[in-house]
Structure 1
Amino acid sequence: MSIGSNSPEDERPFHDVPDEKRPSVGHALKQARLAAGLTVSDVSNATRVRLAIVHAIEADDFAPCGGDVYARGHIRTLARAVHLDPAPLVAQFDADHGGRPAPTPAAPLFEAERIRPERRGPNWTAAMVAAIVVVIGFVGFTAVKGGDGGGADTQAADGSPSPTVTKSPSATPTTAKPVTPKSDPSDSAIAAAPQDKVTVQVSAANGRSWISAKDHNGRMLFDGLLDKGQSKTFQDSSKINLILGDAGAIQLYVNGKKIDDDFRPGAVERLTYTKGDPEVG
């Protein structure tokens, strides 16, 4: 049997009967359900009230409802589903369970609201007065200090000699150091060229170049880059072996003499120098 929305005339009134003959709320709901040809599952599906709660209410056990307010709501829902007027059933439930709770009187609430202390905001007037007092005190202190300074100025203006700071001349006059002219690389090379050794000075006069220098035993004396303007001097008892990565950027002085070979820029040169006159080995 389908359960839909029912018109008011479909709801059967709960006739007034003496209390001793009136069935309980749960029994009345169960009788109406059976009379309508409905099962508990039908009522549960139609009202969305769980099966366990429907069985408990029909057995007059309202504890699973979770309280009197929920119990009244379930009674109204189930009564409409089985075509009963819910008002007498709810009234009977209230009579069986001590009646409806008395509404909370509004007067105490208003009284509590009336006597509640008002929240006060910050006292801006007192704060402003305090700030003005601080400013006045600071101005007065500044004026007093300024008056003391003015007295000192007046005393100086009346003729009291004021100390003057004079710079005493230096006891020893400073004289500029003569600038020592830089010696030409060839001069230093000549001065540092002993006769019993081979001396080679490599100068990156025209640019940057990688160089490698070894003595007569093949021991590495230098292997790295020379930036423009840098120079290196190597000495050995008998022989210096050179590799120039960019020979065109290098100027050589061997045993105090400038080597005038025209090396091409970017050319790699392998050179060997010994004692005596510069000769490429």
Structure 2
Amino acid sequence: MSELGRHLKEARLQKGMSLDDVQEVTKIRKKYLEAIEAGDYKVLPGSFYVRAFIKTYAEAVGVNPDELMEEHGNVPAAPVDTTMETVIQKRSRKPETERNAKWLPTVLMWTFPVLILVVIYLYASNSLNKPESPTVDSADVTSEQQDPATQQPSPTAVGGGVAAPSEPAGTAEATAAPTAAPTAVPTPSPSPAPQAVTVTQDRKSGKTTIYKVSAPSGTPVEVKIVATGVSWLEVYKGENSKGEKLSFGNTEAGQSMSFTLDAEGMYIKSGYSPATDITVNGETVTDGKTSSRLLLELDNTGASAGGGNDTGSTDDGDESQDSGTEE
């Protein structure tokens, strides 16, 4: 086994990952991962893939690939054929330039006639669709305005001026009617404040720390995980990793995910706890370890969480069942 392969293997074991886990994250076949750890680069399909696979493997287990390559300089370098690349680029660009120069005069020649036709068409359409202004007979207007026989004198009020027109009886009654008083709107009484959700460390089972989450019945409990760096993270519904998979893979700085805790509980495994901030309804949950395994159990009866006996192992099948052992 090479020093580089030993370094990657130790980092993988420290993360608690198997080769199958790394294969699922990186999409690199397991036999290539085994060859990298053994230092047998002949198994890989080419020298270019050696460095690419090592870099991807290192990022998956939380190792800086540049520092790893610099520390172990026995990795074969990928071949670079700059001459062939330059020739291919020159050959591909020349025909494209010639084609553009050939078609440009033709495009310009047809563009201007088309634009002229479009302008003419738009002008003709606007002229045809313009509505005609109505014609007014000046003789009718003059006779209507100057015929004194048809003019009715306005009634004169006492003392001079024009008398105001009389209002109908219904209108006067409506005006004199008093305005109805506005109906008072009852002020709603404030609703009681909801009871708080409490999180209490209950017990330990092997490497798993179990927390009781007490919440009133019907109150939603939000589990939020905010990543500040790279860490291997697994989230399952239930008591262990055999439940429904909710999240699986490496985290990135700034990544945030949210889940709802129900009666089945939630099992969280963090390969590097300082890079994952886990909260339940805003309350931080941590066991103070570098690599954490947490089990959240929902108690929606409203009773406060207290100590209890170990009801069973919640760790993965390949981990210790000793309830008093901590990492």
TM bin (shorter chain): under 0.3
Under a length normalisation based on structure 1, what TM-score does the superposition of the two structures give?
0.28
Compare relative contact order (CA 8 Å, sep 6+) and give the higher one, 1 or 2: 2
TM-score, normalization by structure 2: 0.24
Larger Rg: 1
